[in-house]
Amino acid sequence: MKHTVFVDGQEGTTGLRIHEYLAARADIDVLRIAPELRKDANERARLLNAADVAFLCLPDAAAIEAAALVTNPRTCLIDASTAHRIHPDWRFGLPELAAGQREALRTSKRIANPGCHASAFILLARPLVDAGLIAPEQALSATSITGYSGGGKKMIEQYEAGGDAKLLSPRPYALGLAHKHIPEMMVQSGLRTKPVFMPIVSSFYKGLAVTIPLQLADAGDAERIHAAFQKRYDGERFVRVMPLDDAATLADGFFDVQACNDTNRVDLFVFRNGQQALLMARLDNLGKGASGAAVQCMNLHLGCDEGLGL
């Protein structure tokens, strides 16, 4: 049986990558809008309502408008924007979030795809909150370094044009401490205190790593944290818990932010020294951090193998 899929916002970075994932799928018929009709609300509504699954790869306001165009109860929307990630009527598109999340994604017609920074942060923090190793009130901080593709087409053009010396070095941003991923980072991790979050964009195309530093009450807490990750993600095909104090990384002396590129995988690490620890998660910001996660949710919803095409 073939399923029909429409990508609203097919020319953006996420939309283009979704099309790449679906191109080799014999079980998917992709509906495409004519370039001259991309802003025609009637044509967009027709295609949205004709699809079994419609991906919204749009700015927040446009995603809200697109969702309002859908009247077909059989159409499942997967929204890649920030607009619905903490909305109570939308399921959060992270199958590994908690027990029961996959079933919720199978049955829901409204799925909010996670942000790239948020996915890495939540996969680190949520198991520890659930296990009582981090209190919901605990004030966490996190740093994320990401490739420039996460900034979309304009930023990609800016970096690839060259000639601007300031783009050669890493650039911290969201200095107003109000990054758009923070609400979902809190809600989906079970935190009640806003984390201090500093993202950094650098001069490589893709790849992302989030780091949460911790002061431990007891040196043995690092082993308990690592064990909580192993227990939560046991059997997960797209989450890999690396050995405690990963020897290969320590031997190299540097962390490879791009080692998950071109995969739908997340690698989780715990490094410790006495009563200090670094929790680290890396992923491809265009894969598990965006388009790969969206296709994974589509597969779940349609009853396909979760990793099909990934």
Catalytic residues: 116
Exposure class string for 100-121: b at 16+ Cβ within 10 A, else e: ebbebbeebbbbbbbbbbbbbb
Question: Phi and psi (nearest 5°) for 304?
Answer: -85, 170
The whole-angstrom separation of Cα 148 and Cα 203 is: 6
CA distances from 93 to 78, 103, 298 (A): 8, 11, 9
End-to-end CA separation in angstroms for the chain: 20
Tokens found for residue 241: 């818990």
Encoding tokens for residue 179? 């990054």
Using a 10 angstrom Cβ sphere, with 0-12 exposed, 13-18 middle and 19 or more buried, the burial of residue 77 is: buried
Q: Which residues, 6+ apart, have CB-to-CB distance to 140 below 8 Å?
A: 125, 134, 191, 193, 195, 196, 212, 214
CA distance 26 to 151: 32
To the nearest 10 degrees (0 to 180), the angle between helices 116-130 and 221-232 is: 110
